[in-house]
Amino acid sequence: MAYYAAILHMLDPEKNKEVLPRHIAYLDKLDQQGKVFGRGPFADGSGGLVIYIADTYEEAWQMANHDPHVVEKVRRLELKEWKRLSKTESPS
């Protein structure tokens, strides 16, 4: 298992309000399946972050691309593998 950070850059704040309930329901479903490590909006309103748990980049890409915010072009997706460090590890 690996972690993938989906950075969701805001494109359409007005349409975001309409799509937000579907986005949350989609992530709730994935969360129940153990596929979401963390999620939430940026404090400045510029978008949000979802950290997916997946076996491959392709699996994470599929989950992120099926998010209603991405499908309806409310937010632009940027997906990167995220290295989760333990408390004893130091970043390189």
Please give the mean pLDDT across all residues of the chain: 95
Range of the domain at 74: 2-82
Asked if residue 91 is part of any domain, the answer here is no
Asked if residue 90 is part of any domain, the answer here is no
- Residue 88 and residue 67: Cα distance in Å, rounded? 34
**This model's pTM is above 0.85:** yes
Q: Does residue 91 register a pLDDT over 70?
A: no
Asked if residue 87 is part of any domain, the answer here is no
Residues 69, 15 contacting (CB under 8 angstroms)? no
How many CA atoms does the CB half-sphere of 81 hold within 13 Å? 10
90 token code pair: 């130091």
Asked if residue 88 is part of any domain, the answer here is no
Q: Chain-centre distance of CA 52, in angstroms? A: 6
Q: In what order do the strands lie in the sheet with 36-41?
A: 36-41, 47-54, 2-10, 75-82
Q: Does residue 84 register a pLDDT over 80?
A: yes
- Domain total of the chain: 1
Q: pLDDT for 4-43, tens place per residue?
A: 999 999 999 999 999 999 999 999 999 999 999 999 999 9
Asked if residue 47 is part of any domain, the answer here is yes
